[in-house]
Structure 1
Amino acid sequence: MKKVIASTEAPAAVGPYSQAIALGNFLFAAGQIPLDPSTGELVGTDVTAQTERVCQNIAAVLKANGMTFANVVKTTVFLTDLANFALMNAVYSRYFTEPFPARSTIQVAGLPRGSQVEIEIIAAAE
């Protein structure tokens, strides 16, 4: 049976979706953009600051299901400019450590609220 996972430490869903769904040992999280959960406003003007906020939001969703970054098995990173890959990766690598999750990184034409980065995750309990 699927269970809705929500955290007040991450931005609330602003549409017909959940922050995350737990199903069995798996957690499927919606993509996180760099919104401050207390204000709902976009944080940062560069991809470094925005990736930091995104990772903080992911941490909150994981925590709400009793998980950490060590439980993440797959990520999908969306960037509006792949030229920012190294900057995003520098922050990403402080949160996601070995053994690294599988990852896809995709350049997109645009992201919600003018964000430069969005990251979604799949995590599994051991």
Structure 2
Amino acid sequence: MAEIIRKLISTSKAAKPVAPYNQAVVVDRTVYVSGCLGLDKETKQLVVGGAAEQTRQALQNLIVTLEAAGSGVDKIIKNTIFVKDLNDFGTVNDEYKKVFTSHFPARSCVQVARLPMDALVEIESIALTGKVKTETISD
């Protein structure tokens, strides 16, 4: 059986994890990005404001983590968004659409009882590395 390499990704361009986990793990050509919070990498605190500001920062942390893993938002195949309050769904989508403008990945968005550091939003992703060809199938 061939050996599989597991790459543990850590970048100083994103906020450091708030618990014992890696920012991302790459296995073969698949990137698993841990939940990104709206943390400022310098202060290690949630950005000031509400769901929009935290979503914007969480997406920025996601973008730089993907880049460190040799991927990008255009190679994401699945996002999961956790929100403290589903009433923020529209606000989160407004920020999300600034990053994801076409060829949207699959996605779930769920309200949860509580997030680390009492965050309002957390985003985790599964992406690919290398050359990716996108085809659209519709009926």
TM-score by length of 2: 0.87
Where do residues 78-97 of structure 1 align in structure 2 (5 Å cutoff)?
78-97=82-101
Q: Take 2:67 and 2:10, find their aligned partners in 1: how far apart are those partners?
A: 10
Using the TM superposition, give the Cα deviation of residue 6 of structure 1 relative to its aligned residue in structure 2, in angstroms.
Answer: 1.0
Segments of 5+ residues of structure 1 without an aligned counterpart are none
Percentage of pairs with the same residue? 37
Using the TM superposition, give the Cα deviation of residue 72 of structure 1 relative to its aligned residue in structure 2, in angstroms.
Answer: 0.6
Q: Name the SS for the 2:67 alignment partner.
A: helix
Deviations 1:66-93 (A, max 9, x none): 2211011100000011111000000001
Say if 2:124 is the partner of 1:120: yes
Q: Take 2:48 and 2:97, find their aligned partners in 1: how far apart are those partners?
A: 19
Q: Name the SS for the 1:31 alignment partner.
A: strand
Partners of 2:83 and 2:111 within 8 A in 1: yes
Q: Take 1:41 and 1:93, find their aligned partners in 2: how far apart are those partners?
A: 25
Partners of 2:56 and 2:95 within 8 A in 1: yes
Using the TM superposition, give the Cα deviation of residue 38 of structure 1 relative to its aligned residue in structure 2, in angstroms.
Answer: 1.3
Q: Name the SS for the 2:37 alignment partner.
A: coil
Segments of 5+ residues of structure 2 without an aligned counterpart are 133-139
Using the TM superposition, give the Cα deviation of residue 97 of structure 1 relative to its aligned residue in structure 2, in angstroms.
Answer: 2.5
Moved over 4 A (4+): none
Match of 1:108 among 104, 107, 112: 112
Q: Take 2:27 and 2:62, find their aligned partners in 1: how far apart are those partners?
A: 18
Deviations 1:97-126 (A, max 9, x none): 321000000000111111100000000122
1:72 alignment partner in structure 2 = 76
Deviations 1:39-70 (A, max 9, x none): 10110221011100000000110110222110
